[in-house]
Amino acid sequence: SQELEQSPQSLIVQEGKNLTINCTSSKTLYGLYWYKQKYGEGLIFLMMLQKGGEEKSHEKITAKLDEKKQQSSLHITASQPSHAGIYLCGADEGGSGSRLTFGEGTQLTVNP
Partner 1 sequence: DVKVTQSSRYLVKRTGEKVFLECVQDMDHENMFWYRQDPGLGLRLIYFSYDVKMKEKGDIPEGYSVSREKKERFSLILESASTNQTSMYLCASTLPNGIGELFFGEGSRLTVL
Q: Which residues bind partner 1 (CB under 8 A)?
A: 1, 31, 33, 35, 40-45, 48, 88, 90, 92, 96-105
Q: How far apart are CA 32 and CA 15, in angstroms?
A: 27
The nearer residue to partner 1, 10 or 18, going by C-beta atoms, is: 10
- Nearest-approach distance from CB 88 to partner 1, in angstroms: 7
- Minimum CB distance to partner 1, residue 14 (Å): 25
Between 82 and 96, name the residue whose CB sits nearer to partner 1.
96
Our CB check for partner 1 shows the closer of 12 and 78 to be 12
Q: How much helix, strand and coil, in percent to the nearest 5, is found in the chain?
A: 5, 55, 45
Q: Are 97 and 31 in contact (CB under 8 A)?
A: yes
What's the distance, CA 15 to chain centroid?
19
Task: Kindly report whether the peptide bond that precedes residue 112 is cis, defined as omega within 30 degrees of 0.
Answer: no
Smallest separation, CB 50 to partner 1 (Å): 9
